[in-house]
Amino acid sequence: MRLKWIISLIIISNISLCVAGELKHPDRLIADFIMKRKLVALSETLTSSGRFYLGGPGVLRWETQSPSKSVMVIKGDLAWIHYPEFNVTKAFDMSSDPAMKILAGHLLVLAGTDYSRLQERYQISELPAGGKALVPKAAEVRRLFSVIRVQLTEQSVVRRVEMVSVSGDTTIIEFDRLQLNPEISPTIFAKPNTQKKE
């Protein structure tokens, strides 16, 4: 999976959590997720599941546990993907790519933002069936997805996020077992000491 796609998914996670809080974002968060991707070019739906961690502003972990294991960690401008099965880690410097830098900027703002800051970067509207629709304002982000739809529970906890890409592909993320501001060990955001993959 391309780095930009993974970052877009993490951005969606942060947007949804911010929308759920309306006026303030949790400092730390843990949630299980099930992600379903429907690609225009394929008839079948691709499904994966795992756990998402927010460790503070700009510190994120997206851990896919099924069908294959991988871990994506972002800390500021640095990111890496770890493949436990092969004991391989691939590192990225997002600041070296102008488009990636803009995406990372959105990510870092969303990781520690409030609702008013979110409105500066996204056009937000109410959905008829409840929830919110977010349309990115920046052209670089619009090249990844055209709209994000967020559904909340009665307790204003995110339960479902739908992202539609410009190509028509759809990604749905359903969250479960959401923990707000739990204790999280900083070691899970540490870069593993493994083989490097260029």
Provide the residue range defining the domain that includes 97.
3-196
pLDDT at 9: 54
Residue 86: CATH number of its domain: 2.50.20.10
Digit-coded pLDDT (tens) for 151-198:
876 656 677 888 888 888 998 988 888 887 889 999 999 988 765 554
Digit-coded pLDDT (tens) for 127-160:
887 788 888 888 877 877 888 888 876 656 677 8
Number of domains in the chain: 1
Q: Which residue has the higher pLDDT, 184 or 121?
A: 184
pLDDT at 193: 75
> The pTM is what?
0.76
Q: What is the 3 state secondary structure string of the chain?
A: CCHHHHHHHHHHHHHHHHHHHCCCCCCCEEEEEEEEEECCCCCCEEEEEEEEEEEECCEEEEEEEECCCEEEEEECCEEEEEECCCCEEEEEEHHHCHHHHHHHHHHHHHHCCCHHHHHHHEEEEECCCCCEEEEECCHHHHCCCCEEEEEECCCCCEEEEEEECCCCCEEEEEEEEEEECCCCCHHHHCCCCCEECC
